[in-house]
């Protein structure tokens, strides 16, 4: 019977093209508004590294002055970054399975080929384990030698996009690029890699492009790279030179560790406790309740409110618009179905049960929902494309993945069926004898 109902539905839709157009448009608009905001919300809330999100941890230290009850902008009083001194102490200990200190900086990138104009690029200074920790895949070469984390050498890993821009692609391991007019040898070229959000550094909001240039963290004091991220300090210090900054209590370095299993986590926490006690004894940490905290990726994203409340409100509003569209559709469906009451009277007389009439109409509204959903996806794609064209920060967010493409028709059909329930129920309950005499 489903095929028969589908045939009847198609005939019915063709018979009333204007009403069909209005209903499909209403549903398409409602779906497009929902899917647009939902797609952004979905991409924002997506686990950027599901295979490792429970074993990568952002490290925080609460070591500021005891007289300050809270500092750093978070409710739990832990600042999101660490000082250079702490970063250096922690990375020297090498207790975690993998670890990296890092900083977003930037500089002018040049190659010998004069046809390629120099360009200003953000640069990530990190340790050699950064790529393995965050599953950044190599197309050519690999990360730099571990010794370079201690003994700085001018080596660089570049991204695929920059490799294409500078060299037109291909294996360029061993070639040299200039960063701020200093030669760096390429040791690795990444494949396309764009975690979304860029959870390892949320200073810029987390939805910008991943860097295309990676250099050893150990080069920081050598070339005195400036911070392109947040720098905050809980006390006044006279910072005139780069060395002053390295020795200061300014929090400007991100620190991540990879820990596998509870035992590994507990042993690292014990190490952190011991480190804090050592710093307290040394007189650097004056706070009695100085503490360290580890937050895995999921926790870290929630903690930083990567998906803002505004975004959730927007999703709610778009669903309200869908409801408005559905209410209009209900009205149109009611008018359309009730106009068909005489035909239903005949069908009932010829043996159609109330259930069959009900199902016939639900199939019709499902078809409307399906068509509306299909147009809704097209409208969503158009709106996302417009968003990306006008705001580059939405490049990685305004994309419908398979989940969203599947959700759209499901939502459209469910919403249409919901809208059609009352009209279908109403028409199946009509008394056929009323219409048989008067048709």
DSSP symbols for 391-421: -GGGTTTS---HHHHHHHHHHHHHHHHHHHH
Taking CB under 8 A as the rule, does residue 354 contact other proteins?
A: yes
Q: Which is nearer to other proteins, 67 or 355 (CB)?
A: 355
Token pair, residue 173, equals 């391991």
Q: Which is nearer to other proteins, 335 or 436 (CB)?
A: 436
Least distance (Å) between residue 337 CB and other proteins: 14
Taking the C-alpha atoms of residue 394 and residue 398, their distance in angstroms, rounded to an integer, is 5
Taking CB under 8 A as the rule, does residue 437 contact other proteins?
A: yes
Secondary element (H or E) of residue 249? none
Least distance (Å) between residue 13 CB and other proteins: 11
Q: Which of 85, 264, 269, 356 binds other proteins (CB under 8 A)?
A: 356
Cβ pair 218, 150 in contact under 8 A: yes
Taking CB under 8 A as the rule, does residue 17 contact other proteins?
A: no
Taking CB under 8 A as the rule, does residue 414 contact other proteins?
A: no
Q: Which is nearer to other proteins, 287 or 347 (CB)?
A: 347
**Residues between 331 and 350 that touch other proteins (CB under 8 A):** 342-343, 345-350
Q: Which is nearer to other proteins, 410 or 431 (CB)?
A: 431
Least distance (Å) between residue 427 CB and other proteins: 14
Taking the C-alpha atoms of residue 262 and residue 259, their distance in angstroms, rounded to an integer, is 8
Least distance (Å) between residue 362 CB and other proteins: 17
Q: Which of 103, 272, 352, 411 binds other proteins (CB under 8 A)?
A: 352
Q: Which is nearer to other proteins, 194 or 439 (CB)?
A: 439
- 153-159-160-163 Cα dihedral, nearest 10 degrees: -50
Select the span of 8-16, 40-48, 94-102, 262-270 touching other proteins (CB under 8 A).
8-16
Q: Which is nearer to other proteins, 183 or 439 (CB)?
A: 439
Taking CB under 8 A as the rule, does residue 431 contact other proteins?
A: yes
Token pair, residue 397, equals 């967010």
Taking CB under 8 A as the rule, does residue 139 contact other proteins?
A: no
Least distance (Å) between residue 349 CB and other proteins: 5
What burial class does residue 53 get, using C-beta atoms within 10 Å of its C-beta: 0-12 exposed, 13-18 middle, 19+ buried? Answer: middle
Taking the C-alpha atoms of residue 270 and residue 281, their distance in angstroms, rounded to an integer, is 16
Position of tokens 């720098």? 231
Residues 6 or more apart in contact with residue 416 via CB below 8 angstroms? 27, 326, 329, 365, 366, 368, 369, 370, 372
Token pair, residue 186, equals 């390429």
Q: Which residues bind other proteins (CB under 8 A)?
A: 1, 4, 11-12, 15, 342-343, 345-356, 431-433, 436-439
């Amino acid at each position: 019977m489903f095929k028969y109902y589908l045939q009847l539905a198609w005939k019915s839709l063709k018979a009333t093209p204007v009403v069909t157009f209005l209903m499909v448009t209403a549903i398409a608009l409602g779906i497009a508004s929902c899917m647009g905001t939902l797609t952004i919300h979905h991409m924002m809330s997506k686990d950027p590294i599901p295979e490792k999100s429970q074993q990568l941890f952002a490290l925080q230290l609460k070591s500021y002055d005891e007289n300050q009850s809270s500092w750093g902008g978070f409710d739990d009083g832990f600042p999101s970054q660490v000082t250079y001194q702490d970063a250096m102490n922690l990375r020297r200990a090498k207790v975690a399975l993998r670890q990296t200190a890092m900083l977003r900086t930037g500089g002018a990138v040049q190659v010998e080929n004069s046809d390629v104009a120099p360009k200003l690029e953000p640069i990530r200074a990190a340790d050699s384990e950064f790529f393995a920790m965050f599953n950044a895949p190599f197309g050519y070469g690999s990360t730099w030698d571990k010794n370079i984390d201690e003994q700085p050498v001018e080596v660089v890993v570049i991204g695929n996009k920059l490799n294409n821009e500078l060299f037109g692609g291909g294996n360029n391991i061993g070639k040299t690029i200039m960063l701020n007019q200093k030669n760096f040898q390429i040791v690795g070229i990444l494949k396309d890699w764009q975690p979304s959000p860029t959870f390892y550094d949320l200073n810029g909001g987390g939805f910008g492009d991943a860097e295309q240039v990676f250099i050893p963290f150990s080069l920081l004091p050598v070339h005195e790279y400036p911070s392109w991220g947040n720098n905050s300090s809980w006390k006044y210090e006279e910072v005139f030179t780069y060395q002053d900054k390295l020795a200061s209590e300014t929090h400007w370095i991100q620190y991540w560790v990879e820990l596998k299993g509870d035992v590994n986590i507990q042993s690292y926490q014990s190490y952190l406790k011991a480190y804090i006690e050592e710093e307290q004894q040394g007189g650097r940490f004056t706070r009695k309740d100085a503490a360290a905290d580890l937050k895995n990726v999921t926790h870290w994203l929630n903690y930083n409110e990567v998906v803002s409340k505004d975004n959730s409100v927007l999703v709610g509003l778009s669903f309200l618009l869908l409801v408005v569209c559905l209410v209009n559709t209900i009205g149109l469906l009611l008018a359309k179905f009730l106009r068909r009451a005489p035909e239903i009277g005949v069908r009932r007389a010829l043996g159609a049960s109330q259930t069959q009439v009900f199902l016939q109409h639900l199939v019709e509204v499902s078809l409307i929902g399906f068509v509306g959903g299909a147009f809704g996806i097209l409208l969503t794609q158009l709106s996302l494309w417009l968003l990306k064209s006008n705001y580059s920060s939405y490049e990685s967010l305004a994309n419908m993945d398979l989940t969203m493409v599947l959700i759209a028709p499901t939502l459209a059909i469910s919403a249409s069926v919901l809208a059609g329930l009352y009209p279908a129920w109403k028409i199946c309950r009509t008394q056929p004898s009323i219409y048989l005499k008067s048709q």
